[in-house]
């Protein structure tokens, strides 16, 4: 059994499907809305759990209705939430999301209780983290907690995967040495490196500057173009199956949860990339973030019918 620990965020996603955005001072009617569980950390946790990993979550919820619902959501997915703290007098994280007719999204986050996840909370989960096959991190919790978790994972000999999202120019790469994988999307890699990342060649060049700064392996997610894996001495591009997207929000998290699950199960990076691009492609054919993620059997059915995977 693969055991994945996520040290990260949870949010309540408030998703509005728009036909166009209002101008300043204008009101525009939007056709539909949904509220569902999200947050980059929780999304990655749910993707890995759907595929069959045992998942531990280390995080914080607020002392409000969204916090209680989030704990119930973890329980429903079989995710171990013993290390999810409830922060008194603090709201849970929320994410207003706007999705355009082609499926492209814009996301705001209000981190709420996620901002209270401290290095000490991670240290308290040390025994459980030591048992994990991988630790997944994102940047919706404080940077000091991210750095402390990387250091703990390295000390414990557990591979750490960091998804540097949302993008932050102040991320200190020198405090990430020992990471197993850095997994940015194109815009995150562009901000981190101050280089253009609009083509596969540019993504490889930018990833090489991250590697020169001491990170062993970079996986760049390229949306409909799949993913690119770069190390000091190798580069692998894995294309994505063609699908018609209805909502791309949470696709990067679907990719990372799936990649981590398959990588720790097989230690085969290329096979894990193939599975992950297919899992993410399938997710964009449905609305929402976690609620768009396939179960193991749904994903097996998608693989049978998809072309190019
Ligand atoms: O990556 C998608 C996620 O980003 C959403 O679920 C939202 O909550 C924000 O964290």
Atom number in ligand 1 closest to CA 38: 6
Q: Collapsing DSSP states into helix, strand and coil, what is residue 101?
A: coil
Whether ligand 1 lies within 6 angstroms of the CB of 134 is answered as: no
Q: Which CATH class is domain 3-9+39-93+113-308?
A: alpha beta
pLDDT (0 to 100) of residue 98: 97
Q: Evaluate if residue 93 carries a pLDDT over 80.
A: yes
> What is this structure's pTM?
0.97
User: Pick from 200, 199, 301, 243: which is nearest to 103 by CA?
Assistant: 243
Paired with 84 in beta bridges are 59
Quote the tokens at residue 19.
Answer: 């036909």
Mean pLDDT score of the chain: 97
User: Which of 11, 37, 61 should be mutated for ligand 1, with most atoms under 8 A from CB?
Assistant: 11
Distance CA 185, CA 269 (A): 17
Whether ligand 1 lies within 6 angstroms of the CB of 288 is answered as: no
pLDDT (0 to 100) of residue 176: 97
Whether ligand 1 lies within 6 angstroms of the CB of 247 is answered as: no
pLDDT (0 to 100) of residue 17: 97
Length of the chain as a residue count = 309
Whether ligand 1 lies within 6 angstroms of the CB of 250 is answered as: yes
Calculate how far, in angstroms, residue 134's C-alpha sits from the geometric centre of ligand 1: 21
CA distances from residue 39 to 1, 70, 180, 259, 304 in whole angstroms, order as listed? 25, 10, 22, 18, 30
pLDDT (0 to 100) of residue 45: 98
**Domain extent listing, the chain:** 3-9+39-93+113-308
**pLDDT > 70 fraction of the chain, expressed in percent and rounded:** 99
pLDDT digits (tens, 9 = 90+) for 235-290: 999 999 999 999 999 999 999 999 999 999 999 999 999 999 999 999 999 999 99
Whether ligand 1 lies within 6 angstroms of the CB of 107 is answered as: yes
Whether ligand 1 lies within 6 angstroms of the CB of 40 is answered as: yes
- Do the beta carbons of residue 79 and residue 51 sit within 8 Å? no
Report, as an integer, the average pLDDT of 142-165: 98
Paired with 83 in beta bridges are 58
User: Pick from 93, 91, 145: which is nearest to 117 by CA?
Assistant: 145
pLDDT (0 to 100) of residue 1: 83
Quote the tokens at residue 218.
Answer: 């970079």
Q: Collapsing DSSP states into helix, strand and coil, what is residue 225?
A: helix
User: Which of 35, 92, 95 should be mutated for ligand 1, with most atoms under 8 A from CB?
Assistant: 95
Q: Is the omega angle on the peptide bond into residue 166 within 30 degrees of 0, that is, cis?
A: yes
Report, as an integer, the average pLDDT of 34-52: 98
CA distances from residue 274 to 21, 23, 101, 165, 280 in whole angstroms, order as listed? 35, 41, 27, 22, 10
pLDDT (0 to 100) of residue 293: 98
Q: Evaluate if residue 307 carries a pLDDT over 80.
A: no
Distance CA 140, CA 240 (A): 27
User: Which of 39, 280, 286 should be mutated for ligand 1, with most atoms under 8 A from CB?
Assistant: 39
pLDDT (0 to 100) of residue 262: 98
pLDDT (0 to 100) of residue 308: 44
For residue 156, count CB atoms less than 10 angstroms from its CB and return exposed for 0-12, middle for 13-18, buried for 19 or more.
Answer: middle
Calculate how far, in angstroms, residue 233's C-alpha sits from the geometric centre of ligand 1: 33
Whether ligand 1 lies within 6 angstroms of the CB of 164 is answered as: no
Q: In which band, very low, low, confident or very high, does the pLDDT at 42 lie, cut at 50, 70 and 90?
A: very high
Active site residues: 253
Q: In which band, very low, low, confident or very high, does the pLDDT at 199 lie, cut at 50, 70 and 90?
A: very high
Atom number in ligand 1 closest to CA 249: 2
- Please name the residues in contact with 94: beta carbons below 8 A apart, sequence gap of 6 or more: 11, 12, 13, 14, 66, 109, 110, 112
Longest dimension (CA), the chain: 54
- Do the beta carbons of residue 150 and residue 174 sit within 8 Å? no
Sheet holding 105-107, edge to edge: 32-38, 11-17, 94-99, 105-107
Q: In which band, very low, low, confident or very high, does the pLDDT at 306 lie, cut at 50, 70 and 90?
A: confident
DSSP state letter for 278: H
Classify strands 32-38 and 234-238 as parallel, antiparallel or unpaired: unpaired
pLDDT (0 to 100) of residue 309: 44
């Amino acid at each position: 059994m693969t055991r994945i620990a996520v040290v990260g965020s949870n949010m309540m996603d408030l998703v509005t499907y728009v036909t166009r955005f209002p101008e300043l001072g204008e009101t525009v009617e939007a056709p539909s809305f949904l509220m569902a569980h999200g947050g980059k950390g929780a999304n990655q946790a749910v993707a890995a759990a759907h595929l069959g990993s045992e998942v531990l979550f280390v995080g914080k919820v607020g002392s409000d209705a969204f916090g209680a619902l989030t704990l119930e959501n973890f329980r429903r997915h079989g995710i171990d939430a013993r290390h999810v703290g409830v922060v008194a007098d603090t709201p849970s994280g929320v994410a207003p999301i706007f999705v355009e007719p082609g499926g492209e999204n814009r996301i705001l986050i209000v981190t709420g209780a996620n901002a209270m996840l401290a290095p000490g909370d991670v240290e308290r989960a040390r025994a459980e983290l030591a048992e994990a096959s991988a630790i997944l991190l994102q940047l919706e919790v404080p940077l000091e907690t991210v750095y402390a978790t990387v250091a703990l994972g390295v000390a414990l000999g557990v591979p750490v995967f960091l998804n540097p999202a949302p993008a932050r120019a102040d991320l200190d790469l020198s405090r990430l040495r020992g990471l197993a994988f850095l997994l940015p999307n194109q815009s995150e890699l562009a901000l981190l490196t101050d280089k253009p990342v609009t083509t596969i060649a540019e993504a490889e060049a930018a990833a090489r500057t991250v590697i020169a700064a001491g990170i062993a392996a970079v996986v760049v997610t390229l949306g409909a173009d799949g993913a690119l894996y770069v190390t000091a001495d190798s580069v692998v591009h894995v294309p994505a199956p063609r699908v018609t997207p209805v909502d791309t929000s949470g696709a990067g998290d679907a990719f990372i949860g799936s990649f981590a699950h398959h990588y720790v199960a097989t230690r085969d990076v290329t096979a894990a990339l193939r599975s992950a691009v297919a899992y993410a492609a399938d997710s964009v054919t449905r609305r929402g973030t976690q609620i768009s993620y396939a179960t193991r059997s749904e994903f097996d059915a998608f693989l049978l019918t998809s072309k190019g995977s």
